[in-house]
Amino acid sequence: MKKEHTAENIANDIRRVCDEWDIFHKVFCIVTDNGANIVAAVTKCLQVKHVPCFAHTLNLVVQSAMKNSEEVRHVREKVKAIVTFFHHSVKASDKLADVKEEKGFHKKKLITDVDTRWNSVH
Domain that holds residue 23: 7-52
CA–CA dist 84, 103 (Å, integer): 23
Contacts of 60 by beta carbon, 8 Å cutoff, 6+ apart: 34
Those residues of the chain that have pLDDT short of 50 are none
Position 48, amino acid: V
- pTM (two decimals): 0.63
Residue 29 belongs to some domain of the structure: yes
Structural domain includes residue 42: yes
Asked if the structure places residue 85 within a domain, the reply is yes
Residues 60-90: tens digit of each pLDDT: 888 888 889 999 889 989 999 999 999 999 9
* 3-class SS of residue 104: coil
